[in-house]
Amino acid sequence: MNTDRVQFSQTCVHGFRVKPGMTTGGVTTPRQPAKRPPVLNPLPPYAALLGLSTSRAEDGELLWIMPFSEAVLGRPGFLHGGAIAGLLEFAALGTLYEALGEGPTAKPINVSIDFMRGGGEHDTFAAATLTRLGSRVANVEAHAWQKDRSKPIAAARMNLIIRR
């Protein structure tokens, strides 16, 4: 998922689009902060395809829920690995954006996913933890599980660059 889309604010005479802050014909276009609602709301189309929703645990932790459906089916009776990876990515980015608040954006540097066991025909849950939040870089870990949180089906580690 690309969370760092460039917002084009002006089209010059020749039809080329320019980024805010670029100089075109001696005139600098104004810089505007990226508009991103907190906790990825509304969710991107891929999240809608997966049927993702969010809720809060009793301790206030942000939980992501992916119901089992044909859209997330891999081989018969099991979740597709890409659907699990997407869920983990949304959990990690949602937790990061919640911590950052309005304004800053993040772009993944790398993502590492460990698949621990096959996901069955059950709802899947995911939550993430910020392991490091610096001024320019963030590290996030996310875990996905189904019936028992102590038996994760997958884990992800993301390193992201932050643009403030």
Average pLDDT of the residues in 158-164 = 95
The whole model's pTM is what? 0.74
pLDDT score at 14: 38
End-to-end alpha carbon distance in the chain: 19
Max CA pair span of the chain: 61
pLDDT digit string, tens, across residues 9-44? 333 333 444 444 444 444 444 444 444 344 566 678
Judged by DSSP in three states, 2 sits in coil
Question: What was the pLDDT predicted at 103?
Answer: 86
Residue 140 CA to residue 36 CA, distance in Å, equals 19
What is the rounded average pLDDT of the residues 69-98? 94
Domain ranges for the chain: 1-32, 38-163
pLDDT at 142: 98
* Residues 142-148, mean pLDDT to the nearest whole number: 97
Q: Please state, for a pLDDT cut of 70, what percent of the chain lies above it.
A: 74
According to the model, what pLDDT value does residue 41 have? 61
pLDDT attached to residue 65? 96
What is the tens place of the pLDDT at every residue in 78-91?
A: 999 999 999 999 99
Closest C-alpha among 61, 77, 60 to residue 119: 77
What residues are paired with 143 via a beta bridge?
127, 155
Fold of 38-163: Thiol Ester Dehydrase; Chain A (3.10.129)
Tell me whether the omega of the peptide bond preceding residue 37 falls within 30 degrees of 0, making it cis: no
